[in-house]
Amino acid sequence: MSAPACRLCGTPLTRTFVDLGMSPPCETYPTADAIDGAETFYPLHVRVCESCLLVQLPAYIPAEEIFDDYAYFSSYSDSWVAHARKFVDAAVERLALTPESFVVEVASNDGYLLQHVVERGIRCLGIEPAANVAEAARRTGVPTVVEFLGEDTGSGIAAEHGPADLVVANNVLAHVPDIVDFAKGLRALLADGGRVSIEIPHLLRLIQGNEYDTIYHEHFSYLSLLTTQRVLAAAGLVVVDVEELPSHGGSLRTWSAPAEALDADPTLGPSPAVAEVLAQERAAGLHTVEGHAGFADQVAAVRDDALRFLLDARRAGKRVVAYGAPGKGNTLLNHCGIRADLVEFAVDRNPYKHGRYTPGTHIPIRPPEALDAARPDHVVIMPWNLRREISVQLAHVADWGGSLVTFLPTFEEFEPGT
Ligand SMILES: [Zn+2]
């Protein structure tokens, strides 16, 4: 098979960023009836383009398959709704939005963000590919159309509703297979004097934080500011400002304007923050293809440490249980080959997962009470980003002499409650 082509510039992708082997879709948890059946595994082989440096996973799974029963409702997370409210407050001030303005959000989910725009009496429209999620948004008073954004749908929506003063696309750019068509869709929606605001997990933080569990099939592009600029430039957009955010292990929020607007008024940007983030990326080597080479070794070291611990525990006759069975944990489990022989079972708060198994590795998932009943010697915290909060919840593991463990960003074994 010939090398896949870069989704930004078309160059054949011959360079590996990291190859995590084969893995099933990370959100498909088989039931007891299904685990004797076949499971489809897809490659998790991330490439870096030698020409434009876009780090990317070829679209192994068709987008329709992913969004078909997509049932993530953003409003379920209080902190995310608060993040959205702060964003709307800041955007209204930054762009001096008034009730005459028009705001469009792409991948608007259940209206978690646009509800704050509606509250301010500003006209808005959500664009959301999942019909059931769009319906939930409409019920809360957020006008929403069911569409995948591309240049054609963007033009059609702008013709019908008018051009937007602000187009918001949070945590979606990395998840679209045809990234250039999507960016052109953003431009098509935008008024000439408008701004596009995009949030993306930052590749630099992924590398520095060893966050390789954020690699999964639905996550097609792993963006730096440099490559984001290149994607947007292909659609006639220029990044004029950037903010660094703590969300998703370290994200960027870029603000972009149409190239024509900058031609007419070069004072619009880019801001000093753009040069600063680009300098950080250069210091880490992300301006060259060779600078991307070390990540695979970091990932191998995580796997070695995790397996060494689990194999030692097994030989010593210790019981190991996982706390949490999040979708992103499955990248690590599959890559390391951690099955029920090494981790007896996992507990999770989500009742949907009880009685099911982790995809590919088939570790049984039980309710949280099962942990206390088993009194394991070691508890591996899978959502390691919540380590502190979960460690406090699991302080009583110390009562039976158990320890807590995280595999990421690096291996750590520690006292419960610390
Ligand atoms: Zn490329």
- What spacing in Å lies between the alpha carbon of 172 and ligand 1's midpoint? 19
- What spacing in Å lies between the alpha carbon of 19 and ligand 1's midpoint? 18
Q: What would the pLDDT profile of 113-167 be if each residue is shown by its tens digit?
A: 999 999 999 999 999 988 888 999 999 999 999 999 999 999 999 999 999 999 9
- What spacing in Å lies between the alpha carbon of 6 and ligand 1's midpoint? 5
Give the CATH number for residue 125.
3.40.50.150
Residues near 226 by beta carbon (within 8 Å), at least 6 away in sequence: 53, 278, 281, 286, 287
Whether 120 is covered by a domain: the verdict is yes
Q: What would the pLDDT profile of 390-404 be if each residue is shown by its tens digit?
A: 999 999 999 999 999
- What spacing in Å lies between the alpha carbon of 222 and ligand 1's midpoint? 12
> Which residues lie at CB < 5 A from ion ligand 1?
6, 8-9, 11, 49, 51-52, 54
Q: Is 398 exposed, middle or buried, given 0-12, 13-18 or 19+ CB atoms closer than 10 A?
A: middle
- What spacing in Å lies between the alpha carbon of 237 and ligand 1's midpoint? 18
Q: Which of 292, 308, 334 is the last residue of a domain?
A: 292
**pLDDT bucket at 247, cuts 50 / 70 / 90:** confident
The angle subtended at Cα 182 by Cα 284 and Cα 328, nearest 5°, is 55
Q: Is the pLDDT of residue 275 over 80?
A: yes
How confident is the model at residue 68, as a pLDDT? 46
- Residue 287's alpha-carbon distances to 50, 171, 215, 299, 351, in angstroms, are 11, 23, 21, 21, 45
Q: Are residues 281 and 299 in the same domain?
A: no
- What spacing in Å lies between the alpha carbon of 221 and ligand 1's midpoint? 11
Q: Are residues 248 and 305 in the same domain?
A: no
Q: Is the pLDDT of residue 83 over 50?
A: yes
Dihedral sign for Cα atoms in the order 49, 277, 385, 313:
positive
Select from 213, 189, 204 the least CA-distant residue to 335: 213
Q: Are residues 276 and 318 in the same domain?
A: no
Taking phi first (over 0 means left), then psi (-120 to 50 degrees means alpha), and beta for anything else, what does residue 283 get? Answer: alpha
- What spacing in Å lies between the alpha carbon of 142 and ligand 1's midpoint? 37
**In the chain, what percentage of residues exceed pLDDT 70?**
96
Amino acid at 99: P
Task: Report pTM.
Answer: 0.93
How confident is the model at residue 65, as a pLDDT? 63
- What spacing in Å lies between the alpha carbon of 214 and ligand 1's midpoint? 21
The per-residue pLDDT of the chain, averaged, comes to 94
Hey, which bits of 110-176 come out as E strands? 123-127, 144-145, 164-170
- What spacing in Å lies between the alpha carbon of 5 and ligand 1's midpoint? 8
CB-CB neighbours of 121 under 10 Å: 8
Q: Are residues 284 and 360 in the same domain?
A: no
How confident is the model at residue 63, as a pLDDT? 63
**pLDDT bucket at 207, cuts 50 / 70 / 90:** very high
Residues near 343 by beta carbon (within 8 Å), at least 6 away in sequence: 310, 320, 321, 322, 333, 363, 380
How confident is the model at residue 382, as a pLDDT? 96
- What spacing in Å lies between the alpha carbon of 152 and ligand 1's midpoint? 23
Whether 268 is covered by a domain: the verdict is yes
* Tokens matching residue 21: 């082997």
Q: Are residues 267 and 215 in the same domain?
A: yes
The verdict on whether omega for the bond into residue 272 sits within 30 degrees of 0, i.e. cis, is no
Q: How far is residue 45's CA from residue 126's CA, in Å, rounded to a whole number?
A: 33
- What spacing in Å lies between the alpha carbon of 205 and ligand 1's midpoint? 21
66-75, 149-158, 176-185: segment of lowest average pLDDT: 66-75
- What spacing in Å lies between the alpha carbon of 86 and ligand 1's midpoint? 35
Q: What would the pLDDT profile of 214-246 be if each residue is shown by its tens digit?
A: 999 989 999 999 999 999 999 999 999 999 998
- What spacing in Å lies between the alpha carbon of 230 and ligand 1's midpoint? 9
79-83, 191-195, 353-357: segment of lowest average pLDDT: 79-83
How confident is the model at residue 80, as a pLDDT? 79
- What spacing in Å lies between the alpha carbon of 24 and ligand 1's midpoint? 26
Q: Are residues 325 and 182 in the same domain?
A: no
Q: Which of 271, 292, 313 is the last residue of a domain?
A: 292
- What spacing in Å lies between the alpha carbon of 389 and ligand 1's midpoint? 40
Give the CATH number for residue 335.
3.40.50.720
Q: What would the pLDDT profile of 6-44 be if each residue is shown by its tens digit?
A: 999 999 999 999 999 999 988 889 999 999 999 999 999
**pLDDT bucket at 81, cuts 50 / 70 / 90:** confident
- What spacing in Å lies between the alpha carbon of 7 and ligand 1's midpoint? 7
- What spacing in Å lies between the alpha carbon of 9 and ligand 1's midpoint? 4
Q: Are residues 101 and 128 in the same domain?
A: yes
- What spacing in Å lies between the alpha carbon of 381 and ligand 1's midpoint? 37
Amino acid at 76: Y
- What spacing in Å lies between the alpha carbon of 54 and ligand 1's midpoint? 6
Whether 161 is covered by a domain: the verdict is yes
What's the domain range around 397?
295-414
Element (H, E) at 350: none
| Pair 167, 187: CB distance under 8 Å | no
How confident is the model at residue 1, as a pLDDT? 60
- What spacing in Å lies between the alpha carbon of 132 and ligand 1's midpoint? 35
Q: Are residues 233 and 375 in the same domain?
A: no
- What spacing in Å lies between the alpha carbon of 78 and ligand 1's midpoint? 38
Q: Is the pLDDT of residue 103 over 60?
A: yes
| Pair 337, 312: CB distance under 8 Å | no
Tell how strand 102-106 and strand 123-127 pair up.
parallel
Q: How far is residue 132's CA from residue 220's CA, in Å, rounded to a whole number?
A: 24
